[in-house]
Structure 1
Amino acid sequence: MVIPVHDVNPVRRTPWVTYALIAANVAVFLSMPGMADSLTGAAGLARQCDLQAYLDHWAAVPQELIHHRMPRLVPTGEVGVGPHGPGCVVAAPGYDKSPELSVLTAMFLHGSWLHLLGNMLFLWIFGNNIEDRMGHLRFLLFYGVCGYAATYGFALFDAGSAAPLIGASGAIAGVLGAYLVLYPRARVWVLVPFLIFLPLRLPAWIVLGLWFVLQAFYSAGQGVAQAGTVAYVAHVVGFVAGMLLAWPLKPGTPPPPEPRGILFGRRTRRSW
């Protein structure tokens, strides 16, 4: 899997919405129970119960989205001792939850620093050009629509799941799909793990096409080691939604500049 680090595709205006989305995601992550100091690896039972209750309150749950009702019992965030030892206490929910609104709040929740930073890296690299092409408000609406499409697509695929669904990756997958449609020939600097991290400049259609193929492969039940924790179906649905929404903008999109004379980060001379 290649790691994108930069694209050669300048913008005409400051991508304020992209910056705001990144800032909001980071701020929400730092406010989640135990996430600010999760790099230390400390994760006691009390913190796990607190986080579980937080996610059940604010994350999107497929069962709730499809059946439009809350479960009878939810974690309270407290620790109790049962027949099998200490565990998280469950009780009737003491709050009202809108399943539709939970899709929006879930888009700003992340389960780890790696989850957060990976998503924000892709949004940072590819979001600015899509915002530049669409405009600030249309990009914000586009981002939300892709996030909703990805979440509901996953919920329809796994309607019986009671596991909280979190992360901005469905919406960001929509951004990647739009980038593939609008800027397939833009060059993207990537790091390829091959003994060392080898820097390469590849066309966006290769980088994003490979990303989509891997997501589709995993969503089909392959890659079992990761399939239990990553909503690959949501990535696929979000990506396709982004492609479809961006397609009408393709005819009027100017091509990105063609970089010349640069190979592996070093400027080269031409002989004429």
Structure 2
Amino acid sequence: MFVPISDDNRLRHLPYQYVTVGLIAVNVLVYVFFTSGIFVDGLEPVAYSFGVIPAVFNDFRELPSQYAVVPEGMTLVTYQFVHGGFLHLVSNMLFLWVFGDNVEDAMGHWRFLAFYLLCGAGAGLAHDLVQPRSVAPLVGASGAVSGVIAAYLMLHPKVKVWVLVLWRLPLRLPASWVLGFWVVLQVVMVASTGSDEEVAWWAHIGGLVTGAVLVLFMRRRGVPLFDRGLVTATQPNRR
């Protein structure tokens, strides 16, 4: 498995990735204060109050009044900031940290924020479509991050990414290898496990598709796809 740790891809349009860092900060704060158990043991009520519950979303079941904190439509946004465990949080935020800054750079701050939330909403809807009667809350930023991954793969497939292979061996590989492997893994897991697993694989697919479509329209004017025009270092001619 590839674990990304950094990329060789400087910002071209923005001085700093404020939205990416802000999203990470909000996710971490929500986890620490509401679901980690450090201050309150609130994972279950938070998940049921702010997660996407397909059976409730589709009016097959009614949410108990103590959990009915926000309108069901709003949970397509709120679920993105709730994580069920430390590794769940860290893995999502690591991918967002490595790849989010350049997608934000390609779109601008506000369009990237809209892009991120729309990818998460698309992921939630995909999960809801596949499991319309599920009573398990969908939580986590994986769907939104999947959209970021799709956008980065379409924008910068040739950029080199530092990864840890099996959490130990550092390698510098093209983004197309690292993220392409991740995309293929999601498709394989959907095909092999179906929709009854603990991991919401269809939400990942929904986020990927949403991100791939939205980046076509939400990137800055003049920002190319697939690293067109990228100048790479070459060996000097020898005479």
Tell me if TM exceeds 0.5.
yes
Q: Distance in 2 between matches of 1:253 and 1:132?
A: 10
Q: Distance in 2 between matches of 1:33 and 1:185?
A: 38
User: 2:112 is matched with which residue?
Assistant: 139
1:221–1:227 contact (8 Å) kept in structure 2: no
1:219–1:227 contact (8 Å) kept in structure 2: no
Quick one: which of 92, 111, 133 aligns to 1:119? Answer: 92
Q: Distance in 1 between matches of 2:26 and 2:143?
A: 16
**Counterpart mapping for 1:1-272 below 5 A:** 1-12=1-12, 13=14, 14-36=16-38, 47=41, 50-67=42-59, 70-71=62-63, 74=64, 93=66, 95-193=68-166, 197-222=168-193, 228-248=197-217, 249=219, 252-253=222-223, 255=227, 258=232
Q: Secondary structure, in 3 states, of the residue corresponding to 2:103?
A: helix
1:106–1:166 contact (8 Å) kept in structure 2: yes
Q: Which runs of 5+ in 2 are unaligned?
A: none
CA RMSD of aligned residues (A): 2.7
* Closer/same/farther in 2, CA of residues 182 and 250 from structure 1, 3 Å limit: farther
Task: Tell me the CA shift for residue 37 of structure 1.
Answer: 7.5
Q: Distance in 1 between matches of 2:10 and 2:184?
A: 27
Greater percentage in strand: 1
Q: Distance in 1 between matches of 2:221 and 2:232?
A: 19
TM-score for the superposition, normalised by structure 2: 0.87
1:5–1:189 contact (8 Å) kept in structure 2: yes
| Worse-matched range after superposition: 140-149 or 198-207 | 198-207
* Closer/same/farther in 2, CA of residues 94 and 59 from structure 1, 3 Å limit: closer
| Worse-matched range after superposition: 93-102 or 207-216 | 93-102
1:63–1:160 contact (8 Å) kept in structure 2: yes
Task: In structure 2, give the amino acid aligned to 1:10.
Answer: R
Q: Distance in 2 between matches of 1:29 and 1:231?
A: 19
TM-score for the superposition, normalised by structure 1: 0.77
Q: Distance in 1 between matches of 2:67 and 2:80?
A: 23
Aligned length: 231
| Worse-matched range after superposition: 175-184 or 247-256 | 247-256
Greater percentage in helix: 2
* Closer/same/farther in 2, CA of residues 173 and 260 from structure 1, 3 Å limit: farther
* Closer/same/farther in 2, CA of residues 23 and 238 from structure 1, 3 Å limit: same
Task: Tell me the CA shift for residue 104 of structure 1.
Answer: 1.2
Q: Distance in 1 between matches of 2:160 and 2:221?
A: 20
* Closer/same/farther in 2, CA of residues 113 and 227 from structure 1, 3 Å limit: farther
Task: Tell me the CA shift for residue 94 of structure 1.
Answer: 6.7
- Pair member with larger Rg: 1
Task: In structure 1, give the amino acid aligned to 2:185.
Answer: L
Q: Which runs of 5+ in 1 are unaligned?
A: 39-46, 75-91, 262-269
Q: Distance in 2 between matches of 1:27 and 1:260?
A: 45
Task: Tell me the CA shift for residue 204 of structure 1.
Answer: 0.9
Task: In structure 2, give the amino acid aligned to 1:118.
Answer: S
Task: In structure 1, give the amino acid aligned to 2:182.
Answer: W
Task: In structure 2, give the amino acid aligned to 1:66.
Answer: N
